[in-house]
């Protein structure tokens, strides 16, 4: 997916190479969804621990997210000078500085700001969840609740957000350049949380054995053909199936 947005869009169209790149981009989107799901699972497992310390948790997240990001950030800054016609830095020095600060703080993605590094938009979701998960535990006192209560709270918040997305997806806070209910993929973090909590129950732990997992995987492949349909790519009047 990252290859397509960075280089694949430069390929001639129609062509086999462009179609292959587009197909890889389609396949990549479920990978992002899985990334959010796993993040919800792993981060929740850390936050719900009775040994949780916010400063230590945040420090670990920063050490994991920023080293590679800073390296690429510097590369993009250099490229913006070397190839100014492709640069996203425009306007006054102050506006450029504010744009770079916003990009460095992972704001593009949740906020309607063009990402300095396009493929880093998902880090905006990741950073929001890293801050939102501890906040939710504190607000709803989830650490003092049992599994059933935590599942109920998380499900209620997920359903509420999806309802707000359905009815207020175009609602915009102009001062912040933000559409707060336009990001349904945030609910995928809740899916990871629910999976973690349900795994604490004995019946689901027994159910999630290898044979049952394989049945679930095959069932999804048989019943959900949307991915297969999207992998049919037209090239010069012909149809190529990448699957």
Each residue's pLDDT, cut to its tens digit, for the chain (243 residues) gives: 555 555 555 666 676 676 676 766 767 677 788 899 999 999 999 999 888 999 999 999 999 999 999 999 999 999 999 999 989 998 999 999 999 999 999 999 999 999 899 888 899 999 999 999 999 999 998 887 788 889 999 999 999 999 999 999 999 999 999 999 999 999 999 999 998 988 877 666 666 666 666 666 665 555 444 444 544 444 444 444 433
What's the pLDDT at 236? Answer: 45
What's the pLDDT at 79? Answer: 93
What's the pLDDT at 198? Answer: 84
Q: What is the C-alpha separation between 162 and 86, in angstroms, rounded?
A: 37
Read off the DSSP letter of residue 185: G
As a whole number of Å, the end-to-end CA separation of the chain is: 16
HSE-up of 88 (CA within 13 Å, CB side)? 15
Q: What crossing angle do the helices spanning 187-199 and 147-168 adopt, rounded to 10°?
A: 160
H helical segments located in the chain: 2-6, 16-47, 54-82, 93-104, 121-139, 147-168, 187-199, 202-207, 210-223, 226-230
Question: Cβ(74)–Cβ(103) under 8 Å?
Answer: no
Helix (H) or strand (E) holding 239: strand 238-241
Residue of 142, 106, 155, 123 whose CA lies nearest to 39: 123
Residue 171, Ramachandran bin (φ over 0: left; ψ between -120 and 50: alpha; else beta): beta
What's the pLDDT at 30? Answer: 77
């Amino acid at each position: 997916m990252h290859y397509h947005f960075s280089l694949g869009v430069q390929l001639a169209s129609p062509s086999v190479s462009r179609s292959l790149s587009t197909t890889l981009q389609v396949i990549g989107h479920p990978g992002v969804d899985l990334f959010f799901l796993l993040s919800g699972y792993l981060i929740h497992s850390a936050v719900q621990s009775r040994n949780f310390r916010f400063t230590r948790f945040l420090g670990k997240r920063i050490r994991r997210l920023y080293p590679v990001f800073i390296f690429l950030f510097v590369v993009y800054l250099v490229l913006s000078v070397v190839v100014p016609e492709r640069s996203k830095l425009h306007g006054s020095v102050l506006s450029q500085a504010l744009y770079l600060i916003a990009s460095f703080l992972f704001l593009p993605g949740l906020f309607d700001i063009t990402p300095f590094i396009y493929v880093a938009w998902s880090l905006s979701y990741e950073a929001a969840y890293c801050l939102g998960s501890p906040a939710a535990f504190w607000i709803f006192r989830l650490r003092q609740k049992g599994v059933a209560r935590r599942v109920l709270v998380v499900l209620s918040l997920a359903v509420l957000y999806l309802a707000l997305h359905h009815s207020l997806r175009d609602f915009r806070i102009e001062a912040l350049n933000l559409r707060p209910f336009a990001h349904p993929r945030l609910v995928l973090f809740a899916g990871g949380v629910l999976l973690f909590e349900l795994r604490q129950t004995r019946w689901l732990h027994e159910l999630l054995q290898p044979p049952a997992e394989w049945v679930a995987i095959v069932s999804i492949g048989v019943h959900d053909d949307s991915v297969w349909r999207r992998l049919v790519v037209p090239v010069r009047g012909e149809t190529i199936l990448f699957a």
